[in-house]
Structure 1
């Protein structure tokens, strides 16, 4: 039986894809990847992801402000995001990529928390899920999500926390994004976590052009590799590719309404 995939997180507006999207989409489709969710990082690429979705029926997008791409004038950017969400609803399936990133101890946590909270409120207002980037900040993200109580939930992209934290996100209506990190031997904790998660709470992603899989280090990651992520997940969970691909496909279409 054939298997079908959705790359739930890829940046097709970034290099090396920009201007060559058709080539990479075709390459992915040959591996069974039929749909693509393209999140944005701030106002600089909102128009680009919208345009991509208009040019390609297989592409859907999210509008948001990434915690590492917050401008100094972030209040104005939030206002522009509100305006963009009013103007662009066709194929906008989520708000993101948003969240918190406390990797740098000198980061402006207050600004990140404010911008993230505002996007959570927009997700609630527009009944959209969130695509969340969370690094060294899971407990802070959980706190904000519990305060706002989103009906549509979302996905924790590139999750690398504990099983307890994963289950806390799942209890709040979130899915766990699984990518190429599970291809590395050193990722023992993450592999243990994904082996124990409910399959109906997992999404597959590449984060292309970032997060290359083992054996492809130093190369740009590409959306066709979502199939290899599924192969690794099947090995880790000791389940068939068919079972995983069918369940995860349903998870992704259910969350994003596509």
Structure 2
């Protein structure tokens, strides 16, 4: 099986070569070289406007590079690829939204057929797939409840399930921990890591804070000022690396609980603007 080959013989899940993206004549990031291995868990960090969401859009085939090349699963990225699951930035769902949780997840299977009845056997396969995915993310208990009445953490589980229901090989997540309390951030981080490990899924997750994710990640990609660095979290989120990336003094500290605190970024932003 492919999974048993030495890593050196496996093509990467994602490859960027000397990649650049421009927006309104400004380089969002440039000279980006990155390879993400099959099954790897990568977190993308950086300040607002650094191009974190742009990177996901490139991998989804929604944003063209201005220079360089990108490969996803050995080919060009393209829209609507079922082997790539996507969890966009979480929007606030209307409390009065009456769609059942299982129906929201089911849109990941056949959202393009909404309102078109499925044949009996296809309908059963769809139901079984949705049920299995709800179970995988721990959402079975509220599968038939209206999504608008669920907590933020519960809604995030459903959006994760919607992305997983196509059984993707790559999972892209844009700020899945935003607006969640600290406990829910830890729970969702552990859930993503567990499901990805169990299914052998490559994860690229955009976040602002590494702390809830630190126990689970294989590598960090940090974007700032048009540049990119990648490596183990302790190497990338360090005083030396971030000072070099920002070209401004930045200090990385740990509090009494071991949580990472970066000092100086606010001054850095004002210095460069």
TM-score, with structure 2 as normaliser: 0.36
TM-score, with structure 1 as normaliser: 0.38
Higher percent of residues as helix: 1
Higher percent of residues as strand: 2
Structure ID, larger Rg: 2
